[in-house]
Amino acid sequence: MEKQMFTDRFASVFGTESFFKKQKRIALKNCGLIDPENINDYIYADGYKALGTVLTKMTPKDVVETVKASGLRGRGGAGFPTGRKWELTAQQESDEKFVVCNADEGDPGAFMDRSVVEGDPHTVIEGMAIGGYAIGSSKGVVYIRAEYPLAIKRLIKAIDDARKENFLGKNILGSNFSFDIEIRYGAGAFVCGEETALIRSIEGLRGMPKSRPPFPAAKGLFGKPTLVNNVETWANISSIIVNGVDWFSSIGIDKSKGTKVFALAGKIVNTGLAEVPMGMTLREIIYDVGGGIPNGKKFKAVQTGGPSGGCLTDKMLDTKIDYESLMQAGSIMGSGGMIVIDEDSCMVNIAKFFLQFTQDESCGKCIPCREGTKRMLEILTRITDGEGKPGDIEKLEELGNVIKKASLCGLGQSAPNPVLSTIKNFREEYEEHVYQKKCRAVVCEKLITYTINDKCIGCSACRRACPVVAIKGAPKEAHSIQQELCIKCGKCFRSCKFHAIDKTSEAKEQK
């Protein structure tokens, strides 16, 4: 009964809403239920019970074994078995070790880590303290992006309160274990979410990844063994300790245990954060949790894993959400971004959007990522501008594969994913752009033709809006657009109040 209380309090409050019915809250168990700035609220909700249990009844080795047995895997993206990471760090002989919380959430549209830190900061602190106990470290660092001022404020207060209550500091709860946490701010570089770049950034250096091995578990922060886990991973720890391995591993499937928080975005009714058990299908999360596609539009694709992930089609909607299945389908779990795309979106344009992001955020250290993504972006821009040339798609594939296989860090290795997966699943759209100069979603500006239909009443609004005087027509008579003058800015389309301007993109004959 007590176990139930601990994790299912959320369900008792929110369970009636369809959005929450299929959710299972572990990392977000307290988010939306407690006052994040009141430590009493957390303690009263059985907070720090895991830490107390660990310090009273478990050896560090027991803790590592528990996390290992739970099957928890890193929630930051790569899905490395968390217990194995803990074990590797625990095995190192060193005078000093560090525990690091990666709160440098950088994927566009992802905010699960912010939500946890803002809604339940103590659960992260508790997880880190348990991690410190398990690996023999007395020093934790939270690396959090400076763009999260409220999260930082609440975390600072939580750390202060935890110190006052002796959940941090010397001889925690009267035990021999001492542990404290410092905060370091990230300055907004996406690549600093990569653990070696993050470590360099904490050290005060430019955030650039290093080659591994050596892994941070052996040589991390200031050359000392370092355990780096993501916010969501840390937020899972206390529940595993309190509720036990069997409970945790009963949630999820095969190699992916527990839950994953997803940030639902794009063309979906219920945008928001959803924590679902691993193994749920994409269909369930999009239609049951997310409420489907708004405005009666047709589902086209879902992009998982943020800018490093791939686009999956309607044929793959029954793919299970777990690390392996998503990988097999051609995408990744990533940190949990999930963007739903409907028929109004152009896949080439979407790929370009993501590549633009990774290209901007490449640290500039390794050549494939720095130079290669730039060339890919140039080719994609060319294609969406209607200047694609035969062979461009193949060039994208060749470059994409080299960047994937030869880049230094995860950013580069995954940067081509959105492009490669859209080419794989939506090749015909690319071909239409290149060979027919057509964008079927009518998104790519340069491929659009504006024409005036018979609804035109001759109000002249479009004629006045046109910056290049491409629209002719006497007042109160039907107007027309001179295509050779039109610069496709779309001002006429937006100015027309009578739906008299059509926006189309048709196959054009090859010159």
Q: Which of 3, 4, 5, 44 binds other proteins (CB under 8 A)?
A: 44
Among 11, 253, 317, 406, binds other proteins (CB under 8 A): 406
Contact between 263 and 111 (Cβ < 8 Å): yes
Please give the distance of CA 373 from its chain centroid, rounded to a whole number: 20
Which of 398, 428, 477, 506: binder of other proteins (CB under 8 A)?
398
Site string for other proteins, 449-488 (x = CB under 8 A): ----------------------------------------
431 touches other proteins by CB under 8 A: no
Binding of other proteins by 160 (CB under 8 A)? no
Task: Check binding of 159 to other proteins (CB under 8 A).
Answer: no
Nearest residue (CB) to other proteins, 357 versus 450: 357
Alpha-carbon distance values, 8 to 19, 206, 257, 305 (Å)? 16, 43, 18, 28
CB of 172 or CB of 441, closer to other proteins: 172
With 0-12 / 13-18 / 19 or more C-beta atoms within 10 angstroms meaning exposed / middle / buried, residue 127 is: buried
Cβ pair 264, 298 in contact under 8 A: no
Q: Which helix or strand (DSSP H or E) is residue 504 part of?
A: strand 501-504
Cis peptide before 214 (omega within 30 of 0): yes
Per CB under 8 A, which region of 114-122, 227-235, 239-247, 468-476 contacts other proteins? Answer: 114-122
Site for other proteins in 73-112 (CB under 8 A): 111
Give me Rg for the CA atoms of the chain: 26
- What residues between 203 and 262 interact with other proteins by CB under 8 A? 206, 208, 210-211, 213
d(CA 220, CA 226): 5
Q: What values do phi and psi take at 503, rounded to 5?
A: -115, 110
By CB under 8 A, name the one of 52, 74, 76, 337 that touches other proteins: 52
Q: Which stretch binds other proteins (CB under 8 A): 64-72, 218-226, 373-381, 439-447?
A: 373-381
Judged by CB under 8 A, which of 362, 417, 422, 505 binds other proteins?
362
Closest among 240, 290, 230 to 265, alpha carbons compared: 290
The β-bridge relationship of strands 139-145 and 180-186 is: parallel
Indicate whether 366 belongs to the interface with other proteins (CB under 8 A).
Answer: yes
CB of 116 to other proteins, least distance (A): 8
Instruction: Give the footprint of other proteins on residues 9-38 (CB under 8 A).
Output: 13-14, 16-19, 28, 30-38
Q: In terms of CB distance, is 36 or 186 closer to other proteins?
A: 36
Task: Tell me which stretch binds other proteins (CB under 8 A): 41-49, 59-67, 446-454, 485-493.
Answer: 41-49
In the complex, what is the shortest distance from the CB of residue 23 to other proteins, in angstroms, rounded to a whole number? 8
Cβ contacts of 13 within 8 Å, gap of 6 or more: 32, 33
Cis upstream peptide for 213 (omega within 30°): yes
Q: How far is the CB of 149 from other proteins (least distance, A)?
A: 8
Q: How far apart are CA 225 and CA 219, in angstroms?
A: 5
Phi, psi of 142 (to 5 degrees): -100, 120
Q: Is 49 in the site for other proteins (CB under 8 A)?
A: yes
Stretch of 169-177, 241-249, 437-445, 448-456 lying at the interface with other proteins (CB under 8 A): 169-177
Stretch that binds other proteins, among 229-237, 240-248, 395-403, 467-475 (CB under 8 A): 395-403
Backbone angles phi, psi at 338, to 5 degrees: -140, 105
Phi and psi torsions of 244, nearest 5°: 95, 160
Q: H or E stretch including 21?
A: helix 18-21
